[in-house]
Amino acid sequence: MRCPFCDHPDTKVIDARNHREAPVKRRRRECSECGRRFTTYERIEDLLPMVVKRDGRREAFERLRLVAGIQKACEKRPVSINDIEETVSRIERLVLDTGEREVPSIRLGELVRSELRALDPVAWMRFSSVYLNFETIEEFGKALEELEAGSGESADEPAE
């Protein structure tokens, strides 16, 4: 591993930890040249499934895209980046635990909705309004009733 500060090719691992509930290995490293320390996160990417979009296209699962979508929903809300990272890790773990090589985008969206519901109701509503493609105030009202009722699962299907 090259040092990101001085580009020296020799660094040593001074601490390694497995991340809870996530397929991530955290390593604390120190450069043998400049002595600066930095952290790396190692993740096995070839195990991640393909995402099957609504139109049938297949795309690689992108963790950063999931993070960005959840961050957008949580914008200006009292949700920490650590909460978002833990949420994404749980979703990623649920997807990996199925062992399937492909996951429908609809399933992924429902996992995000489920996690956001527990994390922040306003973020859940924001995400749901985009994901389900709300076009009328009645659709917002129906989602609000669902949230207030605590029904858990939605019978709604995302718009095509």
Which residues touch 95 (CB under 8 Å, ≥6 apart)?
48, 49, 61, 103, 108, 111
The answer as to whether 156 is a domain residue is no
Burial of 85 (0-12, 13-18, 19+ CB in 10 A): middle
- Residues 21, 75: one domain? no
**pLDDT recorded at residue 11:** 92
pLDDT for 46? 55
Give the pLDDT confidence score for residue 44 in this predicted structure.
63
Number of domains composing the chain: 2
Query: Edge-to-edge, what's the strand order for the sheet holding 11-18?
Result: 11-18, 24-31, 37-43
137 is in which domain, residue-wise? 46-149
**pLDDT block averages, 10 residues each, the chain of length 160:** 91 82 81 93 74 93 93 94 92 88 93 93 91 86 82 47
The answer to whether residues 31 and 67 belong to one domain is: no
Quick one: 56 and 106 in the same domain? yes
